[in-house]
Structure 1
């Protein structure tokens, strides 16, 4: 079908992230019981050829998040047919049910954008709680197949048919999931950036002393990764803001035309002719200091 991405790791724990060379970031964030009617699950298992009584089956859902961290538009297919899960005995393969979130099928993902979906599997209960998921992404137009293997475990709650999710491989309470911890971490970084932006706007001198927006300064203040647009070149702009090389070049050119210093984000958007997506990426991490 195409070449295998040689940078793909042999094994990742559920919740960890892998970035492929093409700029596609993939993680399977959580294992949980599917929030779907039991009748629907059993019918799908039977339709997919699960032998024996459907009452002896486990049903589990694996949540996925993909993000385009590169500068090029990506088109790919993360359909369940390119996945299989082993449960317990490595020789035992779970069945992928055709109940997944269609958001991960036939996707065109622009730079800086992310999306989430899920895949549902059925397995025999006696196979144990160890899960390995072999992921394959069919990337167009060069027909490349990106592969990685993920490992996790099903909790007793999943075995008993209860709904609570548990982070795969974790020893914490079933009420704690990798996805919620990740969201909390991201929200904390956003709050740091908001505070840094406030200081830069209200007291630029203090912002300078604190090193806000300067990735090379370490003054003991965590600004959540803010970048001063007046202090970086096109390459840093492209990398830090996940902008295309063209957008970064337009910003640098516009900065030169206004005398080397922007006075506001609005001015950057106007003179660099940024589209809404580029503006959104810029505003999330940008500050403008007047020197």
Structure 2
């Protein structure tokens, strides 16, 4: 007796949501954030004739934690201040050439230049550029993330098998909350779960379980393949999706 009341000798686990992707498909790509707010933000320099450009750029700098955008906000503030100051000082009197240049750049830079600048960085500031462009890109991102989860779970299982058993790594058929990326514990999983692995069939899974009952446990994908006389091409799949908890 191991003292545990959970299935298969596992400790009871808190009930959580259904295990990710077991018996199903990855979720659809998340809806990208609306770009409406970003367009309004990018038009602030044009709508305010450049007066609001320093503030919109400061918002972008804070949102993106960007020093470069902070310096841009300061630069637009200098241009806007120069435009306003020279316009007031030389109102009704002849304007010298340097002041005229300052007024022109101070008016056009924050308004037209600020608008162009805002549209160039709009997607990056509002996180629109990071969204998958296609369903295929999303599927690839999900697969890469699942592989990373499997690697992390496998390393945890090697480092702390007791913790791995408590988290029920490799047992998506049992209630659990830990996402191991789709690993299957070939030393404990039932035949139907083993049969869900790529390339496996229920007949082959039954064969693995019968051999497991005879030898006790496996230590690697190569061990399973040799002991259960599995087709050689399955070794790679078992290495990718299998875990072997003692």
Would the TM-score normalized by the shorter structure come out above 0.5?
Answer: no
Task: Identify the structure with the greater helix proportion.
Answer: 2
TM-score band w.r.t. shorter chain: 0.3 to 0.5
After TM superposition, the score normalised by the length of structure 1 is 0.37
